[in-house]
Amino acid sequence: MATDVNDNPLTLTMGHEQLVIRRRYEVLSILNDFLIALWFLLGSIFFLYPELEKTAIWFFIVGSVQFLIRPMLRLASLIHLQKTPESHWQQ
């Protein structure tokens, strides 16, 4: 039975500490949602000041692009390309 890449934790070692990230795609999705909220909040605040309007528009554009990333992250969490062992393709 094949193991799901999402079940294998990503471990980053920093000195004597380790950061273990499980369910990577879910973590990426949450971080993406957080950034979307941040860009739209900043864009809304910046729109209150006419001199910052152009920056506000760019925040909204970045947030909108990240809205496009959301379904790609969900799809990537469901579909994963992995190598098959050599024994499978030597038959």
What confidence tens digit (pLDDT) does each residue in 63-74 have? 999 999 989 888
Task: Report the DSSP beta bridge partners of residue 5.
Answer: none
Distances from the Cα of 6 to the Cα of 20, 21, 33, 86, 88, angstroms:
13, 10, 19, 23, 23
Report the pLDDT value the prediction gives residue 83, as an integer from 0 to 100.
64
Task: Determine what percent of the chain is predicted with pLDDT higher than 90.
Answer: 44
- Rounded mean pLDDT, 20-35: 84
Q: Which residues, in sequence order, are CB contacts of 37 under 8 Å at separation 6+?
A: none
Report the pLDDT value the prediction gives residue 2, as an integer from 0 to 100.
45
pLDDT surpasses 90 at 40: yes
Q: pTM for the whole thing?
A: 0.66
